[in-house]
Structure 1
Amino acid sequence: MSDYKFLLEKPSNEDLFNGGSHSRIAQSVYQTLKDDNNINVIGVEGELGSGKSTIIEFVKNQSINQEYDFIEFDVERFQHGATKKALIETLYHNIKKVLPTPDSKDRVKKAKDMALGNYFEYTSQVKSSISMWVIVFALSLLVASKVFIEASVGLGNTIKILFNLIFGDLTVSELTVEPFVIFSFAVVLFPAYIIYCSSKEKKLFGYFSRPPTVGELFKRNSRDKISETTEITKEVGSYELQEALQVFVDELPDDSRFILVIDNLDRVTSEKLREVWSDIEVFTSIAQNKIQLILPYSNTHIASALSEKGEHSDANEGKEFISKRVPVTFRVSPITSADWKNQCETMIAQSIQNIDRNELPIIIKLIDLWSEFMTKQITPRYLKKLINSVVSIKITDNENVSVTSAFFYQLVIQFCEIPLEKVLSKNIDHTFDADNTETLAAKLDAKLKKSFPLIQQQLSFEQWSKELAAIHYQTSFEIAESELLGEPLRRALHNGDSAPFIEKQNIYGYEETLRSLLAEESTEDIVGVMAHMADEAKTQESVGRWFDKWLPVIDGFIGQDDNNIKDINSWIDNHATLKNANISVNSSRLKKEFSMLDLTSNQYARQNEPLENLKSLHGLSKLLCFTPKLFTQLSAELFMKELWPHRNTFSYWEIDKITLTQEFVTELYDNAATTKYINDDLLAHVASNYKVGWPKGNKVLDRVFNTWGDSSTINNNPLSVEQCIYYSSWYSDYNDHHFMSQYSNIEDSNARQKWLALSIAHIIYHQYYSDISQFEAYLNESEDFSRYLTNYLTISCDFDRILEALSDDQINKYLKDSVKELVRTKRVNKQQVSNTISHMDELVKTGLSKTEIIVWLSSFSKYQESLQLGSLQNTNSNFVEAVFDIEENTAIREKYLNLLSSESANAKWWLTQIQSPNNNIRYIFENWFESKHKKFVSCSNLVSAIRSFVKDTEPRELALFNDKTWLVTLFKSIPNKSQDALSRLLSKELNQKKTPIETQAAILSIFGEFVHLTVSNDTDEQVQALTLFEHFDENLSDDNASWFDIQHYQFEHWSEALLTSFVEKLKFYEAQGYSFHNINTDQSISNLKNVKLDSAD
């Protein structure tokens, strides 16, 4: 402590600045007061702390030597009391010392008392009233005093008699009683009895009212009415001040001189200042040269206070007030830069005696740099305050910090209120724009940037940053660093506060501290912190840099973390927030937690309260895009108890979109039957997913629902409307009347639609189609109605029953949309496909396309497996035609085509089809193979059948075969190679001598475009060709004529006789209108025809 010294805030006795402005101003003030007697008010104007008090002190010292009396009045001390009263008291106590006579003193004292209201006169008129009890008490005392002697004598005699009665020989019979004695004794005791009743607050003799208090009895207290007239001044006003001051001045000797200093005007409230300011005029008009006034003040503060008018003020107006009251003012000039710097060094050296002299220039520069933010001028008071604050830092210092650091801390952190974290971080991060000095923040940044090089002339960054932290927390370096970084980061980590992690990231030691913190704490908390700053990662550059640097580090710690998760749901939510912000965090811990929670459905069902674990599993499943084991084989019990009731919570799993299988629904029903409960909306959900052909729920749920249902129950719970379809009587008993009677009483419109759908389903099930008429007035074929009817038909009816209803004209129009929905949503699990095919036309009328129907039926693989060749022949021809007409390649079409290639379709079967084709088979070949240019690849049996048909059929029967088109269609359907082979075989059969002419003619007529004649120079071949040409005679057709016209006859090798016969037949055919262009172009034919023509001529 001996090395440090505080600088006291008091006026100095000497001018400490080389410029000497303070002493010169003081001399000028004194001379003005002394020499110019017409001026009795002088102002000393300067900023707060600029040295006005020092100047006053200089004036005081000079005035004492000249026999001036100095009076100092501090307005600030009396601003909350009677200021004028205090001023009068102060003047009185100083003036009375110089008054020459007792009379003067008395007159001054009286003036003072009159001004303060201590002296007054008044007249009082009093009217009093006396209580009746006082009168009674007074009379009782008066009477008691009169009979007191008799009572005393009687009491003495009584005592004497009693004594003789006890100890003497006096008997009772000898006793005599004096009535007056007893009366007098009672009268004497009566006042005492009144006092007793008054003190005990009892009624007199238990009957009369309670007497007044003892004080009222003895002191004659009563209720008085007083009227006064008083002339007293309650407060001291300007008038009283003027009157008192006039007396004071008049009584002062002519050679007396007083200087009154009214100080600290600029430190009182505006109201008090205006009050005091108005009194200055009193001094200017009365005091003259006996009492002269000095007013030290700050022009800025006084002008502002004087000009206040509500919310508006005019500083110029305030300055006018000042100039009017104080026409003569001496200004305290600012201290020159050289003066304050020299004096500051001296003051620092006096206060901190062990300072390193090399620090002084740096400290002076820092003061000069930062002082503009604290004050307009550097004043002695400001320097003292700054140095004293540094001295206090050094006294409490635990680490012997440098004086430079102490000054820097005080200037920047304490005076400018810049956060310590910002000061320490700016040394690392100089990304701020120091050239942009338009804003205060920019100016501060610029000052910081200039400060760092100054400090680092003496100290390293690590050293001064540690010292600033130690000063701030007034502790050791280690604890300060912990408080600056460690503890704030730890608290922020536990509270999920992201701000400190960003704000402190540039502070020295941050990286080491954060790594240490991550190693000590669970990564659960840092994930929460990152989630809070995730949204800012893309918009704030500092947050983005933090993630770039620290996310890989945190990922490493996550991979090593084996701490238990305290709040797994919040932890999952935080990971989800990061994922949504596209921030990828190490998922190893997520996967670990998922594997711990990833139990089977039955394992969860066995837990007492599985909901919380399921919520956690759901969150992890969503984050990792993993499917839990519980959905591999979902338990109906878990589904009913947990998943379905909380399906909105488990949105990612889409519980309401889980495919309900027949087995799962059966399990649901069994579980409901066991527990005798199933949620109504789950029941509705099952109905919307039920399929025709599944086991009937009524066989199980009859134990749960055993009522038809009624309007009152439905109105209380609209979801209960569907329960009746699980009631066995719904199926065994026809009860349309019940449905009709309850319908109009159902309030909920949706429930009415369901009830109506149940009614129609009931009619369809029992096949009372005509009863639909009683409901038709309510049927509007709405989308809701159709959907509900679809659901109830799946539960109650098989598909054959539905198709039967679809065939009925009375009810089918209400069924169309439902049937269409069943097909399109594939909600028919089981049906007789052949029966459905027979209703192809009805299905088409519902609006279903043929393609939709066939594709849907193709999904029933059992039907396809059961198909035989015979069933293909017997299938509804419209259906078969549709199968091969649609563009869609369906399984049924493939099955039909495969049947044509199966073993059942042998040569014998094909021979039958050639001779008498089935309509479906014929349609397939004509509209599939021929029209669409398809080839029947597995055609061996068909080829064999064609060969057999040609060779083995009786010639006459073959000649009568008239379905040439069918055989050509079959021939064209086989592959080209097979066609060539068969064509060669038929051509051979055509050209053989042993082939009957009828057979040859049939081959030509049927397969003409695939066969040809073989005619060479062999006479037998020529004869065979001629025979075949002549065979048709009048039965020749255009096709036959065309075929003959394109054959190659080699007529040049024919004999004249054969050629003549051919020409004769040719002319016969031509006469019938047939044309043989190619034959006629042959030279041999044309020459012979010409010869014949000439001979005829």
Structure 2
Amino acid sequence: MDHVRKYQNEKPVESDLFNGQGHKQVADAISKVLLHDDTQHIIGVEGSLGAGKSTVINILKQQVQDKGFHIVTFDADQHHTSLRPALIKVIEIELVRMLGNRKTKEKEKLSKAVDTALGKRLTYTKDTNSHLPFSSIIFFFLFGISAWQVKPSISFLLDLNQNVSTKNQDPNQSISLDTASSGFDISSGCLSLALVAFPFVLFWLIKRFKKTTQLGDLIKRNSVDTITETIDINREVGSIELKEAFDSFAELIPENNVLLLVIDNIDRVAPDDARELWSDIETLISLGSEKLRILLPYSEEHLAKALEKSSVDEGQSGKEFISKRIPVPFSAPPIVTTGWYEQFNEYWEQTLPDIKGKEGVKTLIEVWNRKVTPRYLKSIVNRIGAKIDSCPERNEILNGVCCAAYIIAVKDHNLTINDILSKSGVVTLNNEGYEDSRLKITQKILRKHCEEKEEWPKQIAALHFQTSFEVAQSELIAEPIKSAFLSLDSERLIELHPLHGFDLFFKKQVESTHASDLIKIAASLVRSEIGKIVLDTHLHDINHEIKEVMIDDYEMDSDLIESHEILAEHEIKIDLTLVKELQRNVTKDINKQWSSLKWMKADNEPHSVDSDKWRDLRQSLEECYRYSFRTNITPQFIEKPDVNFIVNVLFPFEARLSHWDIPKLINKTDTVKLIESACKRQTLFNEEETIFPEILKKLRVGEFEKIPESKLLNKVDIASKSPEHLLEVLPFSADWRSANKKNIAQQLANKLRNLDCSDETRDAYTALVAAAIVNAFDPTENITLLNERNVNQSYGSALTWLTTKLEERPDCSNYLTDYFSACDFSDILKWCKHNGTTEYFLPNLETLVQASRVYAMNISPLIKTDYSFLKESFTKMTAGDILQWADSWSTYIDKSELPLWNSEFIDDVLKYQPTGLLKKFLEFLDDSELTADDWLKRINEKHPHIEKIIKYLKDSNKKLEHQNELVNALKMLPDQKDSYDIELVSNLLALINKGKKNSIGRKLKADFIKISTSNDHRYKSISYFGGVFDMPDIKDDATAANDITAFIDDVIKQEKSEIVDWLLSQKIKGSGWNIEKWSPDNLQGLYDVLKDSEYAESELAASVKALCGNDKDDNDSDE
């Protein structure tokens, strides 16, 4: 960059640069107050930070300095660590300058006042009142003795010195210690010297052990001292002392001089410091001195807040403090738009002549700033220049509007770079409507002043990272997106989503990311509403990449499965190609792993288990389950499960595979195979928790009969096993069905007395004991058990003992149903018929029947005798329900025993018409092997069951399939000696078709007039079959006429009215009686029979009479 930028500085100007000249007007007004109104001791200059208050003061200085005013500026912000000492020092320096080199006395007074103000000058009175220690008493005593021994000591020293001098003069003369001869006592002298030195030795010892003790401490104790001193350390002083010092300052100001103290930046210091300085200002104001005045520039907003926070009562208004102490506040003028536009243009031309976008920056300033100050204008111009010069892109490419938008929004208003670059123009951190609207307007300004649509985001990014466009975009979007994909950081992607260019770089990253990671990042995104929007936008691209995935090696990824589950939960239609392929692969692995576990196959002997293979199989199974849950594709080993696979693999993990409904699979699987596989597994593992309870729930009565004992569990040691274990496995042991089953029942019963378990387990165990006894004993059979002394004792019948136990544990009946499924139906029913056990056993038997859990039973006793008992005893099943269940056993019914069946059973079958049983009835009645004799026998026996079935068929308008033998039998009836039930014969006739009936009628009609036909034959023919034939034509044959006349005469005499009625109902002329063909004698013979009977008025009698011409004769005879 060849251009050397000229930046704006913060130095206050000496003149008003704005056209409005507002700053100069304020300075003029303040000047007038200072010069002409000396009662105003403090003048305020209010204005926002950077509003030009310093400019006003500079202009004011020019106006008042030559008129006796000494202006001294105190910067509160600069001296915030020691406000009061600094203020006093500033005043002192200015006063020293005003006093000059002379006036030493005034300077001394100034120094004294400064020391007082700073708290250095200290005058105080000390009153000492304390006890006299023992060491002081000893010291005083020794000191007195020492003083008394001073004179003897000096005399001793002088004598000693004289004696030594004499010795030196006469070496032969010795020093005499004899007091009497020489008058010199050396021992007394030494003692005097010791007593003189003793106080000093004592003080030395005291100092040695008490280092702080001074000689005065031993001598002076109680006293009153007045001390005046000057110290070099400042200390806090009271308002009175401070006022005295300031009063001294005011007195020292020379005549015709005024010290104008400018306290600047009071609004920039901490609240407590502002309060302290405000207190000092109040002290200065209280002096009322004309020579010491204060000029206070301040921001009312900031100073009020500081005073409020530092106040004892925070409810007090800071503005009240200010208005009370500053009665004359002047205001720095706000900048009008026109004024600052011109000045801004000047700043721009001075500092940014090579940068475009000036007009756009003006607009941004108006949008974002309510108060525009000269300081702010200089700052924004300088910051734009510094930021652009710091960017490696060329200045002619960069736009000042982009730089200003970045500085104002991001740096000044604490928005993020993502906020300003967001497509929506919405603040993501503090979502305030006002910020949002300004951000949208800012983006509109950026689009207006940038040539290309996507130019401004690129420039702001480059300015933010101070790098090239390419690197900035990569740093701002591409790299963060890549990093977010690698770390699966959806929150970071959501933050980046509003940025211009996000969709492009997101799509590129999708193309280079593995499908499994795409699914994981999708699951992470879906957890938030904005993340869902991002996912919906790019779901097509993600699905496309997933479809193209190639899986080389399968490896379990639990996070992938979990991600799919999250997406499914939120109903996101993510492509399932990957998970389907993974499921296919893991299914293959499961099949391979299962094949390798040959010991689990039914045709192999158990051996040691490979735990690693088992663990791998379990892991694969769980993963396949989770895949299946997502794809809704059920694997083949669930669709068509192998029984060994269910027992050995699926059931042990049933709790983890709930979606596959393993109990339902167990219920659908062949029970016998399940039992065989489960017994083999139990033999191998001897597990405490087994599949047997699940099998027991579906086991049907009699199903054990299909399983060889060798396929069941080996002998179970009842004594050593826990009751819980016995409840599960004992019914599946070979002992349960063997000849040893009575012993098993007795062992279980013996263990019941000393059982230590929960009530629930005790109830279940009692049910097991009951089932074992039902399985092994007849109700009346005696049972022998151990008594309390462990001695075998007979307890009477098994029924009596068991009834007692059932009464003790009535809730055990809740468990009987499943355990009864391991017993024979006949045994259960037998026990149900006894009063002691009926109420406990019968509901469970009904449950088994109702649930179709009876696999094998002898149906014969049921239909012969037990049906009525069940019908009467069952409370939930109706007769129709019982018959519907019995109908499923119809294929096992011997139809030949139908006459032995229960009459109520026959009635209900005909009423409810179960298909199978009804078919049995028809097969019995319509048997192709029946002969005419068999039919004659049935008709003769007239069995009520058969009659009911025949009547049912007649009422149902049904025909027999095999009618010939019945027809033959019916034709033979008139010739039989026995009499038959006419209604039964009539009902049987209803079971044959019309053609067969006609054949019977024809035969009977032909035989009716034969000479060989007896009247009994005719009588039976009419009685049985009168409805199927008519009387044959009686031709002009004396024999035939005589026979029929004799027959009617016979039946009239026997009063067989039904036969007479049938004869009288036959046709009279043209056929039937055909009397017009009869001879008069025959007619007269017939008339004679009829006229004397109750049938004389019948149509036949009248017709015969008319033909005979006997009307007159009859009248005559009557007379």
Q: 1:933 aligns to what?
A: 957
Distance change in 2, residues 1:466/1:980 (3 Å): farther
Alignment partners' CA distance in 2, 1:871 and 1:311: 114
Q: Is the contact made by 2:671 and 2:695 (CA closer than 8 Å) also made in structure 1? A: no
Q: 1:692 aligns to what?
A: 701
Alignment partners' CA distance in 2, 1:971 and 1:1033: 27
Distance change in 2, residues 1:413/1:733 (3 Å): same
Alignment partners' CA distance in 2, 1:1081 and 1:229: 181
Do structure 1's residue 36 and structure 2's residue 43 form an aligned pair? Answer: no
Give the Å deviation of 1:926: 1.8
- Among 837, 842, 845, the alignment partner of 1:819 is 845
- Among 1081, 1084, 1101, the alignment partner of 1:1060 is 1084
The Cα offsets for residues 919-966 of structure 1, whole Å up to 9 and x where unpaired, read as: 544332223x12333333x1xx32x2233224456x5426x4322222
Alignment partners' CA distance in 2, 1:1091 and 1:212: 196
Do structure 1's residue 511 and structure 2's residue 499 form an aligned pair? Answer: no
Q: 1:369 aligns to what?
A: 367
Distance change in 2, residues 1:834/1:219 (3 Å): closer
Q: 2:380 aligns to what?
A: 386
Give the Å deviation of 1:688: 2.7
Distance change in 2, residues 1:336/1:288 (3 Å): same
The Cα offsets for residues 1012-1055 of structure 1, whole Å up to 9 and x where unpaired, read as: 23437665876676565445343454443443343222156243
Q: Is the contact made by 2:940 and 2:980 (CA closer than 8 Å) also made in structure 1? A: no
Q: How does 1:9-28 map to 2 (within 5 A)?
A: 9-28=10-29
Do structure 1's residue 399 and structure 2's residue 393 form an aligned pair? Answer: yes
The Cα offsets for residues 963-987 of structure 1, whole Å up to 9 and x where unpaired, read as: 2222211221234565556555655
- Among 618, 631, 634, the alignment partner of 1:624 is 631
Q: Is the contact made by 2:507 and 2:538 (CA closer than 8 Å) also made in structure 1? A: no
Q: Is the contact made by 1:722 and 1:754 (CA closer than 8 Å) also made in structure 2? A: no
Q: Is the contact made by 1:263 and 1:295 (CA closer than 8 Å) also made in structure 2? A: yes
Q: 1:923 aligns to what?
A: 948
Do structure 1's residue 957 and structure 2's residue 976 form an aligned pair? Answer: yes
- Among 621, 624, 628, the alignment partner of 1:614 is 621
Distance change in 2, residues 1:393/1:1080 (3 Å): farther
Q: 1:731 aligns to what?
A: 741
Do structure 1's residue 707 and structure 2's residue 707 form an aligned pair? Answer: no
Alignment partners' CA distance in 1, 2:444 and 2:75: 46
Do structure 1's residue 415 and structure 2's residue 412 form an aligned pair? Answer: yes
- Among 763, 781, 792, the alignment partner of 1:753 is 763
Q: 1:138 aligns to what?
A: none
- Among 655, 672, 694, the alignment partner of 1:663 is 672
Q: 1:117 aligns to what?
A: 119
Q: 2:242 aligns to what?
A: 241
- Among 959, 965, 974, the alignment partner of 2:992 is 974
Do structure 1's residue 454 and structure 2's residue 451 form an aligned pair? Answer: no
Alignment partners' CA distance in 2, 1:1028 and 1:335: 151
> Counterpart of 2:323 in 1: which secondary structure?
helix
Give the Å deviation of 1:263: 0.9
Q: Larger deviation: 43-52 or 832-841?
A: 832-841
Q: How does 1:1078-1093 map to 2 (within 5 A)?
A: 1079=1100, 1090-1091=1111-1112, 1093=1114
Alignment partners' CA distance in 1, 2:549 and 2:243: 86
Alignment partners' CA distance in 1, 2:649 and 2:1043: 94
Give the Å deviation of 1:109: 0.9
Give the Å deviation of 1:908: 5.5
Q: 2:584 aligns to what?
A: 595
Give the Å deviation of 1:1089: 7.4
Q: Is the contact made by 1:104 and 1:251 (CA closer than 8 Å) also made in structure 2? A: yes
Distance change in 2, residues 1:44/1:970 (3 Å): same
Alignment partners' CA distance in 1, 2:359 and 2:238: 56
What is the one-letter code of the residue matched to 2:246?
A: L
Q: How does 1:980-995 map to 2 (within 5 A)?
A: 983=1001, 987=1005, 990=1008
Give the Å deviation of 1:547: 5.6
Give the Å deviation of 1:825: 1.8
Q: 1:791 aligns to what?
A: 818
The Cα offsets for residues 95-116 of structure 1, whole Å up to 9 and x where unpaired, read as: 1122231221112112211222
Alignment partners' CA distance in 2, 1:217 and 1:326: 61
Give the Å deviation of 1:330: 0.9
Do structure 1's residue 893 and structure 2's residue 918 form an aligned pair? Answer: yes
Q: Is the contact made by 2:18 and 2:340 (CA closer than 8 Å) also made in structure 1? A: yes
What is the one-letter code of the residue matched to 1:1094?
A: N
Alignment partners' CA distance in 2, 1:589 and 1:992: 98
Stretches of structure 1 lacking an aligned partner (at least 5 in a row): 133-145, 147-210, 434-438
Q: Is the contact made by 2:12 and 2:58 (CA closer than 8 Å) also made in structure 1? A: yes
**With structure 1 as the length reference, what TM-score do the two structures score?**
0.80
Q: 1:1040 aligns to what?
A: 1059
What is the one-letter code of the residue matched to 2:42?
A: V
Give the Å deviation of 1:259: 1.6
**With structure 2 as the length reference, what TM-score do the two structures score?**
0.79
Q: Larger deviation: 479-488 or 899-908?
A: 899-908
Q: Is the contact made by 1:50 and 1:381 (CA closer than 8 Å) also made in structure 2? A: yes
Q: 1:882 aligns to what?
A: 908
The Cα offsets for residues 72-120 of structure 1, whole Å up to 9 and x where unpaired, read as: 1112233333x22221111112211222312211121122112223234
Q: 1:207 aligns to what?
A: none
What is the one-letter code of the residue matched to 1:350?
A: Q
Distance change in 2, residues 1:350/1:444 (3 Å): same
Distance change in 2, residues 1:403/1:1037 (3 Å): farther
- Among 446, 460, 463, the alignment partner of 2:455 is 463
> Counterpart of 1:461 in 2: which secondary structure?
coil
What is the one-letter code of the residue matched to 2:118?
A: L
> Counterpart of 1:98 in 2: which secondary structure?
helix
> Counterpart of 2:330 in 1: which secondary structure?
strand
Q: Is the contact made by 2:275 and 2:306 (CA closer than 8 Å) also made in structure 1? A: yes
Do structure 1's residue 764 and structure 2's residue 774 form an aligned pair? Answer: yes
Give the Å deviation of 1:760: 1.9
Q: Is the contact made by 1:673 and 1:703 (CA closer than 8 Å) also made in structure 2? A: no
Give the Å deviation of 1:596: 1.6
Q: 2:293 aligns to what?
A: 292
> Counterpart of 1:302 in 2: which secondary structure?
helix
What is the one-letter code of the residue matched to 1:690?
A: L
Do structure 1's residue 574 and structure 2's residue 593 form an aligned pair? Answer: no
Distance change in 2, residues 1:554/1:113 (3 Å): same
Do structure 1's residue 774 and structure 2's residue 801 form an aligned pair? Answer: yes
> Counterpart of 1:935 in 2: which secondary structure?
coil
The Cα offsets for residues 184-215 of structure 1, whole Å up to 9 and x where unpaired, read as: xxxxxxxxxxxxxxxxxxxxxxxxxxx99999
Give the Å deviation of 1:726: 5.7
What is the one-letter code of the residue matched to 2:888?
A: S
Distance change in 2, residues 1:407/1:630 (3 Å): same
Q: Is the contact made by 1:262 and 1:293 (CA closer than 8 Å) also made in structure 2? A: yes
Do structure 1's residue 852 and structure 2's residue 881 form an aligned pair? Answer: yes
Identity in percent:
24
Distance change in 2, residues 1:313/1:885 (3 Å): same
Q: Is the contact made by 2:271 and 2:310 (CA closer than 8 Å) also made in structure 1? A: no
What is the one-letter code of the residue matched to 1:969?
A: N
Give the Å deviation of 1:378: 1.3
Q: Is the contact made by 1:869 and 1:904 (CA closer than 8 Å) also made in structure 2? A: no
Alignment partners' CA distance in 2, 1:224 and 1:823: 117
Distance change in 2, residues 1:625/1:452 (3 Å): closer
Q: How does 1:859-874 map to 2 (within 5 A)?
A: 859-860=888-889, 864=891, 867=893, 869-874=895-900
Question: What is the number of residues matched between the two proteins?
Answer: 985
Q: Is the contact made by 1:636 and 1:671 (CA closer than 8 Å) also made in structure 2? A: no
Q: 1:443 aligns to what?
A: 434
Q: 1:562 aligns to what?
A: 550
Alignment partners' CA distance in 1, 2:1004 and 2:291: 162
